[in-house]
Chain A
């Protein structure tokens, strides 16, 4: 249940470390709670220091940037169709651009398998472990 002011860890290599949710982009609702697979608008609170000129990945975000992200792990249990409940120890997200494409190129960490059901197959295929 990620809402306004909820913080999430970033698990891709886009450069951000911690983001804060500003808005949950759900159809038909302007506010509300975001769960695994929901897109959010966020502010980058902490980012990796950008090293000078030549950087491996083109898109490096700075602190204070307003970006979009998709939630991949939540502390709140999420129900699967067969009745299982999956709960992670932290909230995590992956940064996106306005066209729903990933900003980073790699994902480091577990992601929830509910992403596949919500249409984020690319993220699921990049993740090292899906639960």
Chain B
């Protein structure tokens, strides 16, 4: 060891005692390789971190598997939960500690050369506003006449269909039409449906129609329950959203049908 080399070694003494950088004239490409000489044996976590490019999730998984095996050993040995908690604390501290060196990829052709890590790229901002998928699906997939029909079941439409109205639904196949009082409207976007009740041959019949079904051809309002404008005659405004009490009172049903005639 000549003095010149000793001086160069002393100049690198500001680094940690176990690493020194190769002098510039010996580097051909201009990259700086840090040579690690006589490094102490890294702990298991540090070796995991430095050896491969593990993602943080994989790292957590390996840590968890080690802790679970340790926990199992602890449990089988009959030690209390205090020790398990300490194990967790130690692992959490190691995972979150920044004192160890930053992750750097190893140079595959030399054990002692190390490539410094690339500069960190800022993570993109998450999309924190906007509607989800279900709000756009009906608009993109349903035909326009179905969307117009759906719009009439909205709560804000000026000519909205309200419970207590009398509707006539025409379908593509038999039975081709069904008339009845709207008992309830179930608003679920594309899955919106309503229940019509009618009394046929002294028997009450209720049919639940789905608005966006391709079998439903047309919905005609024969009598609307209150409201400002729209087709059909004006009937009484109902004070309830679900008129299931009509099932038990045939006199109210006859009153509605009498208002229609």
Contacts and interface: CB of A to CB of B under 8 A. Distances in A.
Contacts of A130: 174-175
Majority-rule SS of A interface residues: loop
Nearest to A112: B205
Contact of B205 (A82, A88, A128): A88
B121 to A, nearest CB: 50
A110 B206 CA distance: 12
A129 B201 contact: yes
B204 interface: yes
A86 interface: yes
A113 interface: yes
Given A87-B205, A89-B204, A110-B203, 16 more contacts: A73-B203, A77-B206, A82-B215, A83-B210, A84-B207, A84-B210, A84-B215, A87-B206, A88-B204, A88-B205, A109-B202, A113-B174, A113-B175, A131-B175, A131-B178, A131-B200
A109 B201 CA distance: 6
A82 B247 CA distance: 25
A89 B250 CA distance: 12
Interface string B190-210: 000000000011111111111
Majority-rule SS of B interface residues: strand
Contacts of B213: 82-84
A90 B205 contact: no
A29 interface: no
A23 B175 CA distance: 31
A56 interface: no
Interface string A89-123: 11010000000000000001110010000000000
Nearest to B174: A113
A54 interface: no
Contacts of B208: 77, 84-85, 87
A119 to B, nearest CB: 16
B172 to A, nearest CB: 9
Interface in B213-241: 213-215
Interface residues of A, number: 20
Contacts of A90: 203
21 contacts: A73-B203, A77-B206, A82-B213, A82-B214, A82-B215, A83-B210, A83-B213, A84-B209, A84-B215, A85-B207, A86-B207, A87-B208, A88-B203, A90-B203, A92-B203, A108-B201, A109-B202, A129-B200, A129-B201, A131-B205, A131-B207
Given A82-B215, A130-B175, A110 B200 contact: yes
Contacts of A87: 205-208
A83 B213 CA distance: 8
Contact of A86 (B205, B214, B247): B205
Contacts of A89: 203-205, 247
B65 to A, nearest CB: 48
Contacts of A85: 207-208
Interface in A10-51: none
A115 to B, nearest CB: 12
Contacts of B200: 110, 129, 131
Contacts of B247: 89
Interface in B63-78: none
Nearest to A90: B203
Contact of B201 (A82, A83, A128): A128
Contacts of A88: 203-206
Contacts of B201: 108-110, 128-129
Nearest to A81: B215
Nearest to B172: A82
A73 B204 CA distance: 11
